[in-house]
Each structure stands twice: as structure tokens, then as C-alpha cells.
């Protein structure tokens, strides 16, 4: 029987951890995307990522992003679309799932070093976390 992302890594039997990442676009800024730079002491410190975090067991992507973005950015999630992409994070048990997300409020870097609104064409020049790099390539295409 095949395993699901919520259960076990097929190669080593390690429990997989689903991570919901928000792809937030703002039309008023030329279709820019919100990215956050990871702080020191965290995995992928100093690299840019789409905001989000670990999903709790049984938690929906909407609920996870609502909880995580309130903590990380001080915003309210008002909508979450269908998953764009799912990428394993190399060297870890994390599987990052990217979702188009709508927010209310002005984001502030409460848990990140910095936040930025970037054009899709600017993504290639940023030092992105591995899974976020794959998502960025998909979004630029």
C-alpha cells in the first residue's frame, strides 16, 4: 500500500512533516510576491522563503496558514487556494506545500529578519531555501 506525505518517507521510514507555505501576491505592487528571510538559529538561516510553517496533525492548510501567518506576520488569512506545488526539503523530513493565499492587514517581520515584496522576475537573484527555489522557478514559468 502506498504511503502518503502525512505518514512516512518511502526511502527511510522517517515520519514526514507537512509544511504549508503561503504564496501571497499583491496586485497593487505589480503582482509582487511576499518573501521572508529566515532568522539566525533556524534551518536555512539567512535564506528567503515563502512564509508559513508546520501543519499540526489533522490541520487543514487554511488553519495552518491562519495560525502561522498571524504569529509570523501579524496578518489575517482570508483565503487559501488549491496547492500549487509540493516539494521535499532536501536533507530533512519536511515536505513543503505551496498554496496561493490571501491576507488582510499589513505584514510585519515578527519572526523573520526581513520581509520583501518581490517581482517573480527577481526571484532568481535571491538566495532562496531549496524548496522555495523550486516553487519560485514554477511561479516564474
* Inside any domain, residue 1: no
pLDDT per residue as tens digits for the range 51-63:
999 999 999 999 9
Q: What is the structure's pLDDT at 10?
A: 46
Q: What is the structure's pLDDT at 5?
A: 41
Q: What is the structure's pLDDT at 14?
A: 65
Domain extent for 85 = 17-140
Q: Which residues of the chain have pLDDT under 70?
A: 1-14, 28-30, 141
Compute the distance between CA of residue 22 and CA of residue 67 in angstroms, rounded to an integer: 12
Compute the distance between CA of residue 66 and CA of residue 75 in angstroms, rounded to an integer: 8
The residue assigned the cell 522555495 is: 132
Taking the CA atoms of 12, 98, 48 and 134 in sequence, report the sign of the dihedral they define: positive
Domain of residue 135, CATH code: 3.90.79.10
* Inside any domain, residue 24: yes
Task: List beta partners, residue 17.
Answer: 94
Name the domain count of the chain: 1
* Inside any domain, residue 10: no
Q: What is the structure's pLDDT at 13?
A: 57
* Inside any domain, residue 12: no
The pTM score is 0.86
Query: Which of 77, 90, 84 lies closest to 44, judged by CA?
Result: 90
* Inside any domain, residue 7: no
Amino acid at each position: 500500500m502506498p504511503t502518503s506525505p502525512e505518514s512516512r518517507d518511502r526511502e527511510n521510514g522517517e515520519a514526514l512533516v507537512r509544511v504549508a507555505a503561503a504564496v501571497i501576491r499583491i496586485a497593487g505592487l505589480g503582482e509582487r510576491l511576499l518573501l521572508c528571510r529566515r532568522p539566525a538559529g533556524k534551518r536555512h538561516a539567512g535564506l528567503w522563503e515563502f512564509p508559513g510553517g508546520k501543519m499540526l496533525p489533522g490541520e487543514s492548510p487554511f488553519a495552518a496558514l491562519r495560525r502561522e501567518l498571524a504569529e509570523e506576520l501579524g496578518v489575517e488569512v482570508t483565503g487559501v487556494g488549491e496547492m500549487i506545488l509540493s516539494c521535499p526539503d532536501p536533507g530533512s523530513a519536511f515536505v513543503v506545500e505551496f498554496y496561493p493565499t490571501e491576507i488582510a492587514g499589513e505584514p510585519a517581520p515578527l519572526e523573520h529578519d526581513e520581509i520583501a515584496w518581490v517581482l517573480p522576475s527577481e526571484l532568481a537573484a535571491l538566495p532562496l531555501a531549496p524548496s522555495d527555489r523550486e516553487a519560485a522557478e514554477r511561479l516564474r514559468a
